[in-house]
Structure 1
């Protein structure tokens, strides 16, 4: 009888012990860039397959959301398609006495997407600025057909949005007509259904649309985003993709990052549609 009286207590203690183990073993959390979410998930899947017992959880939400999570202490790693801003680093410093750790993990070419039937051969950075600020509103003004340009872009929490605004619009505001969408996949889907649409996003997301070559200026050659042009910087919209940490990596987080930077991790980045660091 004594055994049965103590059984509920034993079960309760065992449940608490399992819960504690589960919490302690929650694994590595990775949050941020929607551009990088598929790449991050593939990295996590292959790493877990090769390292049984390791758990890596990857979610998106945008670079800004990931950086906020890093500052708030709710993610171990932030994925970001843009560098952290100074005010974000200062928030980290105020809370953790560190300016954070920046780790480039891959390269990307920010693609300009047009419909597969769009006859426009290429666009310069100046033309893209005019299009996305509303100064140019018809495709015939940039060598296309007589049709109103329909703009698609990312939400302002996106690192891709920030990169495009800084490097193409020179910090100016997007035209009010630009339709903001939650993720590059949504932008690609919209452009693929709209013969007059134009969008931008990571080079890995090009199914159903056409990459439009980009010129640095009117006198420069039109360049497509490829491994060679992104690595050497000749493609005008080349960029690094980053992991951000609060402090230097240790333990399981360091092992995961070391694997991402290894030949196996960099090869996987290429398979997903991005470009290696070297």
Structure 2
């Protein structure tokens, strides 16, 4: 008899672990680790997949893209969810360990920048955003009537979102930035801090009105001087939002036969509908 066991730890733990379990043998037991951006989507997909495939169990944990990739290198995962491509160093490590990989790009996401609901600004340009995150601007006075100091809530360096934002803005993050372990912790911190700013996966917040309470999602003013929201699905489809990106799954060749039914499910009509209903975007 199939059963679903979900464990949602407190937001201050280093990872999220969810077990979707059935009467599975080792050939149908999948371990998926990595990106905190992708973890909610992975859970939604795994839940629906397990309804049609009672002989599979899928264990899912977040904690960051880098952690998932490391788990692959150590033989501790079948799928690494990653919100960034592999680095040159990681590619070399997989070659050294003779671990051939398959890469699946199964969805697209946008990174949202959030402030406290009482912050008067609604949008921000790329220059100001870069100067805030690298510490050049340390007060909200330039952008509003508030003289509050700016508090940055970001991710650890193992996070794909951390690497993505750093690369897109061509910055080094301020040493004063507070390193959070995931989307939930960033959002809760910004809700409680009128001076706060943070960045999270847009898919994490777009379909959950409870998560959106207490925060404001900023529109990003791009190089064409157009303000675009990461929650504007049409803008994402037209590739007009500056901080949008593909989402990856890296799979060792040795695990491919086992995980291929799940990957196929992600790509079928039901899987694509789930991706979109979860607040993410289908790769066309």
TM-score (norm: length of structure 1): 0.86
Q: Residue 248 of structure 2 corresponds to which residue in structure 1?
A: 242
Q: Residue 12 of structure 1 corresponds to which residue in structure 2?
A: none
Q: Residue 131 of structure 2 corresponds to which residue in structure 1?
A: 130
Residue pairs, 1:256-275, within 5 angstroms: 256-275=262-281
- The gaps in structure 1 that reach 5 residues or longer are 1-20
Which runs of structure 1 show a deviation greater than 3 angstroms over 4 or more consecutive aligned residues? none
Does 1:174 find its partner at 2:173?
yes
2:221 paired residue among 215, 218, 229:
215
Does 1:61 find its partner at 2:63?
yes
Contact 2:78 2:255 in 1 (8 A): no
Q: Distance in 2 between matches of 1:247 and 1:229?
A: 36
Residue pairs, 1:1-278, within 5 angstroms: 24-25=26-27, 27-96=29-98, 98=100, 100-168=101-169, 170=170, 172-206=171-205, 207=211, 208=213, 209-217=215-223, 219-225=224-230, 226-247=232-253, 250-278=256-284
How many residue pairs get aligned? The number is 254
Contact 1:120 1:144 in 2 (8 A): no
Higher helix residue share: 1
Q: CA deviation at 1:250?
A: 3.7
Contact 1:110 1:200 in 2 (8 A): yes
Q: Distance in 2 between matches of 1:248 and 1:72?
A: 13
Q: CA deviation at 1:52?
A: 1.3
Contact 1:44 1:57 in 2 (8 A): no
Larger radius of gyration: 1
Give the secondary structure class of the aligned counterpart of 2:253: coil
- Cα RMSD of the aligned pairs, angstroms, is 1.8
Do the aligned partners of residues 139 and 201 (structure 1) sit closer, same or farther apart at CA in structure 2, a change above 3 Å counting? same
TM-score (norm: length of structure 2): 0.84
The CA deviation string for residues 146-175 of structure 1, in whole angstroms up to 9 with x for no partner, is 22111100111111111111112x1x3211
Q: Residue 3 of structure 1 corresponds to which residue in structure 2?
A: none
Give the secondary structure class of the aligned counterpart of 1:101: strand
Q: CA deviation at 1:263?
A: 1.9
Q: CA deviation at 1:249?
A: 6.5
